Amino acid sequence: MDLWDIHHQGRINAASTEARHANSKASAVATDLVLMERRIDHLTLLCQSMWELLREQSGLSDKQLRAKIADVDTRDGRADGKIRNKIFPCPKCQANCHSSSQSCTMCGEDLKMHKPHLFQG
Ligand SMILES: [Zn+2]
């Protein structure tokens, strides 16, 4: 085996190792995706069941639910089917605050009442 062959064999070995790592990573991502799909299916089932109970008990309609979804969706300034964090002025000192913050970094004002949704950290 000459130097050229040794060099190429080294490159082939490195490529093989890289391919094994990529394959392993792809398998892990596929597993995560399956778990995430199960969680989404479970949450969808939970939301549908909760809505049906609420609709039956309260008399609210699907139309009212859709209007509320649209209302909540646009609270962050975009109708995109998502609730995003946003920047807003602190109610006490007007410093820019991030909606994921518990309190204003400048004055310490409690920001919990200014969050766009209850489930935000
Ligand atoms: Zn402040």
The whole-number pLDDT of residue 56 equals 97
Measure the CA–CA gap between 70 and 78, rounded to whole angstroms: 10
* Single pTM value for the model: 0.62
If you measure from the C-alpha of residue 30 to the centroid of ligand 1, how many angstroms do you get, rounded to a whole number? 44
Mean pLDDT estimate for the chain? 91
Q: How confident is the model at residue 118 (pLDDT cuts 50, 70, 90)?
A: low
Per-residue pLDDT for 30 more than 90? yes
Measure the CA–CA gap between 20 and 35, rounded to whole angstroms: 23
If you measure from the C-alpha of residue 52 to the centroid of ligand 1, how many angstroms do you get, rounded to a whole number? 41
Identify whether the C-beta of residue 73 lies closer than 8 Å to the C-beta of residue 84: no
Q: Kindly list the protein residues that place their beta carbon closer than 5 angstroms to ligand 1, a single-atom ion.
A: 90, 92-93, 95, 104, 106-107, 109
If you measure from the C-alpha of residue 74 to the centroid of ligand 1, how many angstroms do you get, rounded to a whole number? 25
Beta strand residue intervals within the chain, DSSP E: 87-89, 96-98
If you measure from the C-alpha of residue 39 to the centroid of ligand 1, how many angstroms do you get, rounded to a whole number? 38
User: Token match 């602190």: residue?
Assistant: 90
Digit-coded pLDDT (tens) for 50-102: 999 999 999 999 999 999 999 988 887 889 998 887 788 899 999 999 878 88
Digit-coded pLDDT (tens) for 46-61: 999 999 999 999 999 9
The whole-number pLDDT of residue 117 equals 65
